[in-house]
Amino acid sequence: MISGDDMLIIVEDNGIGIDEEKLKQLRLRLSQPSDTLDEDHIGIKNVHDRIQFHFGEPYGIEITSQVGEGSTVIIRLPA
């Protein structure tokens, strides 16, 4: 999907969702600099950081979720 000057890759599911505390931790992890050598489960953070490194801070991964309704992951790239 193209939105203005951005390309959005949207992946949605209708699964169990992510509870609010875990979602908050995931968003915090995406927003902070990290040393992935000391972390487990670095895949999403690694992709997010690489997108921001190449294209700038407005780009990367955004995650929303509702327990019992599912989750949405948006990858924002320059069009």
| pTM (2 d.p.) | 0.84
Which stretches of 1-79 are assigned E, i.e. beta strand? 2-3, 6-12, 60-66, 70-78
Q: Give pLDDT, residue 38.
A: 63
* Structural domain span for residue 63: 2-78
- For the chain, the domain total comes to 1
Give the pLDDT confidence of 8-26 residue by residue, as tens digits.
999 999 999 999 999 999 9
* Three-state secondary-structure class, residue 13: coil
Give the pLDDT confidence of 53-77 residue by residue, as tens digits.
999 999 999 999 999 999 999 999 9
CATH classification of the domain holding 19: 3.30.565.10
The Cα-based distances of 31 to 54, 63, 71, 78 in angstroms read: 16, 12, 19, 19
